[in-house]
Amino acid sequence: MGDKGRASRQAGGVVACVDCPLRHQAAFRQFAPEELAFVTHFKAGELQITAGTDILLAEHNSAHLFTLLRGWAYRYSLLPDGRRQILNFLLPGDFIGLQAGLFDAMQHSVAALTDVTLCVFQRSELWSLYREQPSLGYDLTWLAANEEALVDANLVAVGQRTALARIAYLIVQFHARLEGVGMSQHGRFAFPLTQQHVADALGLSLVHTNKTLRRLVKLGAVKVGGGMLAIARLDQLRAIAGLEEAKPRSRPIL
């Protein structure tokens, strides 16, 4: 899955955390000055990764942790027989590699879906974060719990919903998350996933994913094309997915 990659570390031209454009998005909580100071110190640099490249590998452990600054990524795991399950998608503001930081070997891999920019943190500094800035430790737990909640929701979708409902669910979820980080305008947003990604995330075959997505389009619920997705009728999508409306939570960002 991750291949052809090329990664370059940037020395200069790095965004200071105070000026981080993400931080001003609606979704994120405000940081106190000393928290911001610590994060700035914690941040070791930035990393650019090309679309399709792996960021972290299962079975390995990494000296770094990341926050996704720009672009899309996804966590996935491969079975011995080659099948792939995408565990969830990562959007700007998401923390990457908590498991890598806490365990000695990752259980899954993380790959860049699009070209991606990452904030890099030293794993070795993680402990000092808890010691010196407990509120950030609390935030990390929060992020871990939040990500678990996402996976929970995916499991519910894959375990209980029909193909049509799963795809509707995925779209509604993307919409909500992208809204939060200002990447959706009037229900319209960039959609860099290939149908194979959708299939692997929802436990469906590629062919059936195609047919079902097509059906969703014919139903008039969404429009897709040119790497964009537009939600035509959000209520209809929610109904198909069997989803209630959910209010987003204000979240931390490291």
Indicate which single residue of 24, 29, 83, 214 sits in contact with a copy of itself (rule: CB under 8 A).
83
Q: How far is CA 237 from CA 4, 65, 88, 91, 169, in A?
A: 36, 36, 20, 21, 8
Count CB neighbours of 134 within 10 A.
10
Q: How many residues bind DNA (CB under 7 A)?
A: 21
Q: If residue 44 lies in a helix (H) or strand (E), which one and from where to where?
A: strand 43-49
Between 18 and 228, CB nearer to DNA: 228
Indicate which single residue of 15, 126, 206, 232 sits in contact with DNA (rule: CB under 7 A).
206
Which stretch, 21-29, 104-112, 122-130, 201-209, contacts DNA (CB under 7 A)?
201-209
Binding mask 98-127 for a copy of itself (x = CB under 8 A): xx--xxx--xx------------------x
205 sits near DNA (criterion: CB under 7 A): yes
Indicate which single residue of 30, 40, 141, 205 sits in contact with a copy of itself (rule: CB under 8 A).
141
Angle at Cα 78 formed by Cα 74 and Cα 82, nearest 5°? Answer: 130
Indicate which single residue of 159, 186, 225, 226 sits in contact with a copy of itself (rule: CB under 8 A).
159
In eight-state DSSP terms, residue 150 is: H
* Among a copy of itself, DNA, none, partner that 214 touches (CB below 5 to 8 angstroms by kind): DNA
Q: Give the closest residue to 164 by CA, choosing from 111, 100, 238.
A: 238
Q: How far is CA 173 from CA 169, 244, 254, in A?
A: 6, 11, 22
Angle at Cα 62 formed by Cα 5 and Cα 46, nearest 5°? Answer: 60
Instruction: Note the residues at the interface with a copy of itself (CB under 8 A).
Output: 75, 77, 79-81, 83-85, 87, 98-99, 102-104, 107-108, 127, 130-131, 134-135, 137-138, 140-142, 144-149, 151-156, 158-161, 200, 202-203, 242, 244, 249
